[in-house]
A and B are shown apart, each in its own frame.
Chain A
Amino acid sequence: MRHTRGLLLAAMLAVPGIGQAFELSEWSTVTEAASGQTVYWSAWGGDSRVNGYIDWVAEQVDARHDIELVHVKVGDIAETVSRILAEKSAGNKREGATDLMWINGENFAAMKERDLLYGPWAEQLPNFPLTAPEQNPEVREDFTLPVEGYEAPWGRAQITFYHDSARVAEPPRNMPALLDWARENPGRFTYPKPPSFFGTSFLKQALLGLTDSPEVLYEPVDDADFEAVTAPLWRYLDQLHPHLWREGQDFPAGGPKMRQLMGDGELSLAFTFTPTAPAAGVLDHQLAPSTRSYYLGEGTLGNVHFVAVPFNAQHKAGALVVANFLMSPEAQAHKQDLSVWGDATVLDMSRLSAEQQQRFEPEGRAAASLPPQNAGTLLREPHPSWIEPLESAWRQRYGSQ
């Protein structure tokens, strides 16, 4: 047994370009192979807080594992997907330029389907059990698709509404109330244009809040009567749009643009995917100090975000070690710190020691802008097959006016 493995190792080492022979089942071989590697991590670079956190991670993995972590900042992760596609088209199977990528559920579904991801590996990471996957199934599914070890969880997101309390005394707490509110406050709310992530998420959130039969949304779209299920959504949007910002003739490009409009005072109500983002926006002088956040009463969409490894990553071992570090109590606690980033942890507190748990306690600054703790019901993401039909139906109705 030992002998054959030695042979296998030798064979792998003989292949040029592979200096990273490792056995997932034996973590020490992974860290050994990872030592001295340079890991290229493609991640959205639009937020200086996120960038600052990734810089900190780079320092840590350098000190702990002798890994040089390079943050490849992209405006849109699709730019990285393009590169991987081009590499696959050109037959580059093991010298890919990307080692680790921060992706969302849609990217994951598409990439996994096209065999563009390396795996399975995530459940073998030593820190994975800290997420207590049996109690928290959401770390094993991304947009209802089983993850099957092809990506590792590293943060949580939930749709959170925020408003300027100096202008809005009582914000709307469900979808019908939002329509009434928009009628009374014309031009002060909008949502990003689908198919941007935020825009499509708003469609799903509204659909979940308006439909009589939310359960069909968790099955593939082909099994449902799309027209009938979505009819309440389109009725609602038809009524809502005339009261939106710019009368629904123009939509912001994404969540960050929406936050900019809030800062400028053009909007007085908006939403984000990071519950702590409004508080962070106050700290960073982007939002009014009177900004307050809340969840909708009917619950809001939430999901876990993940990191994945492309099929042709050149430094897989290094990427796995970084992914494992991202799930460590230390890295997760640092990430959740509002003064650093404020992104919620994926770890289950019951699996941590008392001392480790203490690190996750929130700090005082800008705390008034945080949403109330534990007040938000989490709604699961619908089946990903709904996304495309929703987006194209939206485009058909409102995309060209």
Chain B
Amino acid sequence: MTAALSYRLVIRSLPWLTIGLLSLPVFSGLAGALAPAFGWLPALGGEQLSLAPWRELARVPGLNDMLRLSLVSGLGSAAISLAVVVLFLGSFLQSPVYRRLRRWLAPLLAVPHAAAAIGLAFLLAPSGWVMRILSPWLTGLDYPPDFAFPGDSWGLALILGLVIKEVPFLLLMSLAALVQCRADERMTVARSLGYPPLTAFLKTVMPGLYPLLRLPVYAVIAFATANVEVAMILGPTTPSTLAVAVVGWLHDPDLTTRFMASAGALLQLLATLAALLGWWLMERLVVRLSRGWWQDGRRHCGERGWALVARWAMRLVLGLMLLALAGLALWSVAGYWPFPQSLPWPPTLGNWQNAADGLLSPVAQSLAVALGATLLSLVLVLGSLEAETLRRRPLRPGAQLILYLPLLVPSVAFLFGLVMLQAQLGQQPGLLAVILGHAVFVLPYLFLSLAESYRRLDPRWAQQARSLGAGPWRVFMGVRLPMLLAPILTAAAVGFAVSIGQYLPTLLLGAGRVETLTTEAVSLASGGDRRLTAIHALLQLALPALGFVLALLLPRLLFRRRRGLLLSH
């Protein structure tokens, strides 16, 4: 009885703890942005509510362009990524190409956004790798040409940079969803009725798959409209995206700009919400328009053309990512490497040797924070999911929304308020604060990655175990956890990678006392030395990649004689 009671107490309280951990920082953080946006910030002499910050914001030259750029790059990159993923899955789901790609997914996900962007920028810039390889024998150039890419005013480079990161993410999210919506059965039935793969996929799998992909897609849109690091590296400057401008205002030495910056942060939140709303409306429209198409019996939709497009788009995405990483690897061993040399010659290990001394502590701290935040999030997520089995229904929509809040609310909008909350609670900056702060961002991704596998587990396993006399703890620890070990480890690896990549929460909540690979990388990147930046970016990538490898290998090792487990995942 006591065991059952402790189980109920613990499991029922974990969802509340989860909701608290997520909503307290986000809401108090937002309040911290809301007040200055309306003129209230006594520390800067703002002791009267007013609309002045908004009027000032409205007068910012090019504000419309900033908004347009944020929306276009956000929605555009999400739409392109989703299209590539859907066309690819549709054309190759039941072919060896798809199985080969699955193996590449995890390492691709491990690449931090900033590293991918820096690599891509080097690849495509006028003095970049592509131009170096083509010069001077083809272009006749001894010095780089002057064209505006990346940083083009259309934001194409920015969209490209976002797409190469989002495609692997959406693919990973599709893996679980495809199993859940029984894609293989749907495909088999449709194909036996004479539908070729892509049409079969679009007409029978998509209607079941998309609802499961919706939240990840929303997360992608929110990230793409509000991200700072990719837009700073690949986006245009006159004007920049709204998020980049807001960070600029927050960093303005003239402290009165902070009021307008807060208004800008809230505008960013509104812009993200508007993007989500726009996407949702498009969803409705597409569903309405395709209803008839699903059942009109037509068997073709330009299969061959689309399959070709999908294959090449996927190759382009993977190729750009790999070349970007290869470029970084070369820079890490480069001495002086002028245009148009295509390879740094002679290569040197000097950069690595110089950097090596200072790397031990950041690596150790990155590991400590990432493991701490991942473990904490894992406990809370498992608790929340276990509570669903206890109540036998999924979390309420409101609670689900809170779970994804940190993904949907741009972090520029609430991080300042978060630091204020930390100071108010008298919480010392340091490792613990950083771990808690990271958990806010790690937890939603962990939940996103794990929820479907957890909910999909046949409830009869638990019923069988309980009818054999096992109490709830034993069912949880002895049946559910081991059976779900593979997806749990994969989700943990995703969370780990998210934590490794965090910059602002680490810096602000740790007051700089927690020095991770990412804080090092970002501060060094501000110095513009590509050699050091490359070294840190590669290490930043190595840690999460290691996590993904472990997540892949551990279950295989532990369950090497348990075919039933390995086949199901």
Contacts and interface: CB of A to CB of B under 8 A. Distances in A.
A286 B531 CA distance: 9
A400 B239 contact: yes
Given A42-B512, A399-B238, A89 B42 contact: yes
A265 B507 contact: no
Contact of A107 (B253, B334, B511, B520): B253
Residue in B41, B253, B528, B532 whose Cβ sees the most chain A Cβ within 10 Å: B253
A80 interface: yes
Contact of A114 (B44, B515, B532): B44
Contact of A72 (B42, B45, B512): B512
Contacts of A81: 253, 255
A79 B339 contact: no
Interface in A17-54: 40, 42, 44-48, 51
Nearest to B41: A89
B237 A92 contact: no
A387 to B, nearest CB: 8
A376 B43 CA distance: 42
Given A250-B237, A401-B238, A80 B512 contact: yes
Interface in B1-55: 32, 41-45
A266 B127 contact: yes
B529 interface: yes
Contacts of B250: 78, 82
Contacts, number: 203
Contact of B523 (A73, A89, A401): A73
Main secondary structure of the interface of B (DSSP, over half): loop
Contacts of A110: 253-255
B238 A400 contact: yes
Interface in A191-223: 193, 195
B513 interface: yes
Contact count band on B? 35 or more
Interface in A66-94: 70, 72-76, 78-83, 85-92
B339 A286 contact: no
Contact of B515 (A47, A73, A288): A73
B146 A256 contact: no
B127 A264 contact: yes
A42 B429 CA distance: 14
Interface string B205-233: 00000000000000000000000000010
B194 to A, nearest CB: 53
A395 interface: yes
B140 interface: no
A395 B61 contact: yes
B526 interface: yes
B522 interface: yes
B522 to A, nearest CB: 5
A45 B522 CA distance: 9
Contacts of B61: 395-396, 399-400
A119 interface: no
A149 interface: no
A133 interface: no
Contact of B151 (A87, A250, A263): A250
B523 A264 contact: no
A256 B251 CA distance: 17
A285 interface: yes
- Which 8 residue pairs are nearest across A and B when measured between Cβ atoms? A400-B62, A46-B527, A256-B528, A72-B512, A187-B146, A45-B523, A97-B511, A90-B423
